[in-house]
Amino acid sequence: MPYRVVEYDSGPKGMPGMEALLNAWAAEGYSLHQAVRESTYRWVLIFSSTILHLRAGQVNLGSDALSIE
């Protein structure tokens, strides 16, 4: 399953921007897999591809297997 790692700085205003970021990645077919707090305002967000995960059941992985990230 492919993952995307995104650094996020919430700044002193807090988390409203993180919700917008999560929604933007959801629109691209990713869901939040894990959030790691690095410091007071810095986060590392790990997203997993929900589209590829949903399609995995439809992929024939015989001798011609796909190479997935």
How many CB atoms sit inside 10 A of residue 47's CB? Answer: 22
Is 63 within the bounds of a domain?
no
CA dist., res. 3 & res. 36, Å (int) = 14
pLDDT per 10-residue tile (average), the chain, 69 residues: 89 81 92 93 91 52 42
Confidence at residue 25, expressed as pLDDT on a 0 to 100 scale? 92
Number of domains present in the structure of the chain: 1
Is 27 within the bounds of a domain?
yes
CA dist., res. 58 & res. 66, Å (int) = 12
Asked whether the whole model's pTM tops 0.75, one would answer no
CA dist., res. 20 & res. 40, Å (int) = 19
| Structural domain that includes position 27 | 3-58
Is 65 within the bounds of a domain?
no
Is 68 within the bounds of a domain?
no
CA dist., res. 13 & res. 1, Å (int) = 33
